[in-house]
Amino acid sequence: MSDFREILNQEIATLAAKIEQGELPDEMRYQLKKEVVALERSVELGNYDEKYEKVSHYIDWCLHIPFGKKTEDTLDLNQAQEIFNQHHFGMQEVKNRFLEYLAVLNLQKNNFQDEKFSAPILLLVGLVGTGKTTFAYSLAEALGRKLVRIPFGGMGSAKELRGSSRLLLGSEPGKVLKGVCGSGVMNPIILLDEIDRSADDANMDIMGVLVELLDPAQNHAFTDDYINYPIDLSQAIFLATANNTRKIATAVMDRMEKIDMPSYTDEEKVAIAKKYVMPKVLKEVGLKPDQFVIREEMWSKMVRPLGFDAGIRTLQRTIQGAARKAARIIVEGKYDKVEIGPDNYKIFLPSY
C-alpha cells in the first residue's frame, strides 16, 4: 500500500513540477496549483484515477498555450509581391489590396510601436476554386507568420470553436485554441475558411463566437470553455473566406472588409494550367514534360470539359485524370510519349 501511495505522490509531484517550470501567467499558475491540491485530496477520497486523468489532461493543454511567444513580421512589399505572383496568376486588384494591407502593418509597426496592434480583417468572397484559401497561405509566407486554418464546412456547434466545459466527459479545447497551440505562437494568421458553410441550426451561435473573435474590444480576452481562462488573441491576424455572404450575420460583416474574388477567364485558366498546374501534375504522376503533351488547339477542350467553371479545380482534376491515363498508356503500351490532339482527346476528358 505504501508503494502505491508513493507512486501516486510521484505522479502528483511530476504535475506540480510541470506547473512550476511552464511559461504561464501567474493567475493561471495559481489556478493549476489549486487543481493539484484538489488532486492530492482525491487520494483520500478514493476517486484519484478519474480525477488524475482529467487534471493531467487539463494541465497539459494549459502548458501547450504559447504565452509570450510570437514570430516577427517580414514587411518587405517587394518580396511579398514576388510571393503573390509566384502563387497567383492575374488578380492584380486582389494582390494590390493585400500589398496595401502589408503597407498598413508596416506603418503601424514603425510609427506606433507602443500602441496596440490593429490589423484590418479581410473577407475573401468568391466561387469555389478562385484562390481564396491560397491567398491566406501566400500572406503567411510573405509575413513569415504561422498559419492556422479552421474549416467551417459542416460545423455543427459553436463548441467546435470555443471548446466544451471540463465538467463534460471527453471535453477538449475548441479549434481556435487548438490551432494557436499547434502554431506555437500567439500571433499566427487564423484563417476562418468558408464561414458561410456551417450547419444552419448552429449558424447563429457560431456567428456569435465570430463576433467575439473578430472584435478588437473582445478578442484580447477570448475564453475557451475548456481552458476557462482569457487568452489574448489581439496579436493574431484574422482572414476569412466565403462563397457568398447570405448566411453571414450583419455583426460579423461589419467587422470585416469584403474583397470580391473574380472568376478566371478561359485565357487565364490556360496560362495557369501551363505555368502552375502542369509542372505539378507531371511531377505527381512521374512523367517528364516531353512524355505528356497537350497540343495548343486542345486547351479550349481541357478548360471546359463539362461547361463553365469559375475556378481552376475542375481544370486541375481534368489534367490529373488525363495525365494518369497517359501514364498507364506509356507503361502498358511501352510508348515514349502521349500527345492529346483532335483525334484522341475524348479518351482523356471526363464525360457526363
Contact between residue 90 and residue 268 where contact means Cβ atoms under 8 Å apart? yes
Percent of the chain with pLDDT over 70: 94
pLDDT digits (tens, 9 = 90+) for 237-292: 999 999 999 999 999 999 999 999 988 888 988 999 998 899 999 999 999 999 99
**Cell numbers given for 3:** 508503494
CA angle 46, 49, 53 (to 5 degrees): 145
Angle between helices 2-21 and 48-64 (to 10 degrees): 20
**Cell numbers given for 299:** 486547351
Nearest Cα neighbor of 314 from 290, 349, 340 is 349
Q: Three-class SS of residue 144?
A: coil
Q: Which of 20-24, 105-109, 231-235, 267-271 has the lowest mean pLDDT?
A: 105-109
CA atoms of 159 and 250, how far apart (whole Å) = 21
CA atoms of 209 and 41, how far apart (whole Å) = 37
CA atoms of 319 and 282, how far apart (whole Å) = 9
Average per-residue pLDDT for the chain:
90
Most confident of 116-130, 241-255, 295-309: 241-255
Q: Buried b vs exposed e over 314-352: b needs ≥16 C-beta within 10 Å?
A: bbbebbeebbebbbebbeeeeeeebebeeeebeebbeee
Nearest Cα neighbor of 58 from 112, 19, 1, 116 is 19
pLDDT digits (tens, 9 = 90+) for 50-104: 788 889 999 999 999 999 999 999 989 999 999 999 988 888 899 999 999 899 8
CA atoms of 349 and 304, how far apart (whole Å) = 10
Per the listing, cell 492530492 goes with 40
The answer for residues whose C-beta is within 8 angstroms of residue 158's C-beta and 6 or more apart is 202, 205, 206, 208, 209
Evaluate if residue 205 carries a pLDDT over 70.
yes
Output 308 or 265, whichever has higher pLDDT: 265
pLDDT digits (tens, 9 = 90+) for 9-54: 788 888 999 999 999 999 999 999 999 988 888 877 666 777 888 8
The answer for residues whose C-beta is within 8 angstroms of residue 347's C-beta and 6 or more apart is 325
Cβ atoms < 10 Å from Cβ of 16: 17
Residue length of the chain? 352
* pLDDT confidence tier of residue 109, bands split at 50, 70 and 90: confident
Contact between residue 337 and residue 293 where contact means Cβ atoms under 8 Å apart? yes
DSSP 50-96: HHHHHHHHHHHHHHHS-TT--PPPP--HHHHHHHHHHH--S-HHHHH
77-260 to CATH, choices 3.40.50.10300, 1.25.40.10, 3.40.50.300, 1.10.3720.10: 3.40.50.300
Provide the pLDDT for residue 254.
95
Question: 137 — alpha (psi -120 to 50), left (phi > 0) or beta?
Answer: alpha
> What one-character DSSP code corresponds to residue 258?
E
Cβ atoms < 10 Å from Cβ of 239: 26
* pLDDT confidence tier of residue 344, bands split at 50, 70 and 90: very high
Burial category of 67 from C-beta neighbours within 10 Å (exposed 0-12, middle 13-18, buried 19 and up) = middle
Evaluate if residue 204 carries a pLDDT over 90.
yes
Contact between residue 268 and residue 311 where contact means Cβ atoms under 8 Å apart? no
Percent of the chain with pLDDT over 90: 68
pTM across the whole model: 0.85
What is the domain partition of the chain in residue ranges? Answer: 2-64, 77-260, 266-348
266-348 to CATH, choices 3.40.462.10, 1.10.8.60, 3.40.50.300, 1.10.3210.10: 1.10.8.60
Provide the pLDDT for residue 199.
93
Output 298 or 7, whichever has higher pLDDT: 298
